[in-house]
């Protein structure tokens, strides 16, 4: 039985760091284990220009603990007013790695997102020309569409038509949650990949709802049926390089999660790799962990894999705090529902 595993240092291809006191609190939890991360731009106000991205990157770097080795990969928030020239300049300068598409109203701080996709086609065409990837929150927001069906409908109504009209656009379907999403990636070999979160690999909607609502499992896109979780796990452990880790670690103050109308997001960063090692071990696929966490993402983004390594060692149950302080508030750490025996040694 494997008791120790050394892999290239992982990257996180979908991460929320927020700003201010929250940024100061949560950044060390990612920088401890991950070399790079795609940073989500849904601040208030959002990161929409080259200048916004540069300022946010500077705040992130200032918040890094002394001695930490971490590179934030910045993104721009796509709006119907996005300037293609500003975007192209930011990408050419190496400041911006990708652009994020939020359908308006889809998730936290997405009010500035896209309502009319026709209005962003010129920007998407420019992105295809310069090789700038598009990270997609893949849900429709029509109220008549059931929340559990919104990913499948988005693929049919929005994503597939966009990819047909903008050939060559590189797309990352972020945090896929359904068999539909996994199948769509596998059926489309060119210019398409997907990230998968920890919570969607470990839990389904019964875990969130049966016996009482567990708000710290509530995220968007929402947890789906068990059959969808099983399809995502099969994709993650398949060795297919189009699937890779994006934790979507999304901190909120504990009081905002434990509320009448609770915030969406799971704060998984402190225990992300321990959760993944346990999940891959249970599936008999520890040999596929390095590809999913450390190799597939850089390959799709055209970046080198990290040269340094981390070691995961199996031992006594991992001890970690239930919450971490964030200014005047706390942030509750994701509950894996079981003891975690895999420890990370940088």
> Under the phi-then-psi rule, with left for phi > 0, alpha for psi from -120 to 50, and beta for the rest, what region is 191?
left
Q: Are 38 and 271 in contact (CB under 8 A)?
A: no
pTM listed for this prediction:
0.96
Query: What does the pLDDT read at residue 113?
Result: 75
Q: Which domain holds residue 309?
A: 4-345
Nearest-angstrom CA–CA distance, 197 and 229: 11
> Which among 32, 222, 272, 219 has a CA at the least distance from the CA of 108?
219
> Which among 105, 221, 242 has a CA at the least distance from the CA of 152?
221
Query: What does the pLDDT read at residue 110?
Result: 60
Who's near 168: CB < 8 A, 6+ residues apart? 128, 129, 191
Query: What does the pLDDT read at residue 114?
Result: 86
Per-residue pLDDT tens, the chain, 346 aa: give them: 679 999 999 999 999 999 999 999 999 999 999 999 999 999 999 999 999 999 999 999 999 999 999 999 999 999 999 999 999 999 999 999 999 999 876 666 566 678 888 899 999 999 999 999 999 999 998 899 999 999 999 999 999 999 999 999 999 999 999 999 999 999 987 899 999 999 999 999 999 999 999 999 999 999 999 999 999 999 999 999 999 999 999 999 999 999 999 999 999 999 999 999 999 999 999 999 999 999 999 999 999 999 999 999 999 999 999 999 999 999 999 999 999 999 998 6
What sign results for the dihedral spanned by CA atoms 205, 343, 69, 307? negative
User: 83-117, pLDDT tens digit by residue?
Assistant: 999 999 999 999 999 999 998 766 665 666 788 88
Query: What does the pLDDT read at residue 122?
Result: 95
> Which among 13, 79, 84, 69 has a CA at the least distance from the CA of 42?
79
Residues involved in catalysis = 248
> How many separate domains does the chain show?
1
In sequence order, which ranges of the chain are alpha helices (DSSP H)? 20-31, 50-63, 84-92, 121-130, 150-154, 160-165, 179-187, 198-202, 205-209, 226-236, 254-257, 272-282, 289-290, 296-301
12 Cα distance to chain centroid: 7
Nearest-angstrom CA–CA distance, 259 and 12: 29
What sign results for the dihedral spanned by CA atoms 256, 258, 261, 262? positive
What CATH number does the domain containing 288 carry?
3.20.20.140
What sign results for the dihedral spanned by CA atoms 324, 329, 334, 335? positive
């Amino acid at each position: 039985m494997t008791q120790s595993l050394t892999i290239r240092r992982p990257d996180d291809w979908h991460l929320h760091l927020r700003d201010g006191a929250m940024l100061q609190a949560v950044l060390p939890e990612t920088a401890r284990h991950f070399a790079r991360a795609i940073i989500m731009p849904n601040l208030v106000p959002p990161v929409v220009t080259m200048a916004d991205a540069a300022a946010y990157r500077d705040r992130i770097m200032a918040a890094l603990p002394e001695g930490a080795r971490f590179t934030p990969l910045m993104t721009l928030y796509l709006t119907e007013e996005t300037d293609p020239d500003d975007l192209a300049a930011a990408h050419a300068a190496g400041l911006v790695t990708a652009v994020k598409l939020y359908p308006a109203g889809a998730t936290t701080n997405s009010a500035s997102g896209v309502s009319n996709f026709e209005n962003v086609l010129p920007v998407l065409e420019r992105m295809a020309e310069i090789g700038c990837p598009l990270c997609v929150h893949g849900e429709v927001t029509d109220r008549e569409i059931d929340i559990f069906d919104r990913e499948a409908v988005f693929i049919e109504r929005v994503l597939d038509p966009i990819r047909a009209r903008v050939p060559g656009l590189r797309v990352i379907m972020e945090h896929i949650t359904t068999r539909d999403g996994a199948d769509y990636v596998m059926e489309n070999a060119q210019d398409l990949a997907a990230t998968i979160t920890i919570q969607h690999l470990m839990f389904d909607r019964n875990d969130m709802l049966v016996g009482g609502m567990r708000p710290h499992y509530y995220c968007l896109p929402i947890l789906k049926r068990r059959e969808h979780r099983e399809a995502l796990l099969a994709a993650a452990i398949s060795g297919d390089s189009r699937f890779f880790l994006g934790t979507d670690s999304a901190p909120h103050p504990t009081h905002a999660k434990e509320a009448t109308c609770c915030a969406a997001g799971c704060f998984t960063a402190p225990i992300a790799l321990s959760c993944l090692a346990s999940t891959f071990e249970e599936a008999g696929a520890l040999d596929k962990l390095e590809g999913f966490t450390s190799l597939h993402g850089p390959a799709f983004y055209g970046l080198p894999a990290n040269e340094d390594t981390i070691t995961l060692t199996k031992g006594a149950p991992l001890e970690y705090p239930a919450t971490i302080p964030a200014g005047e508030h706390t942030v509750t750490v994701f509950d894996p529902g079981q003891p975690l025996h895999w420890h990370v040694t940088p």
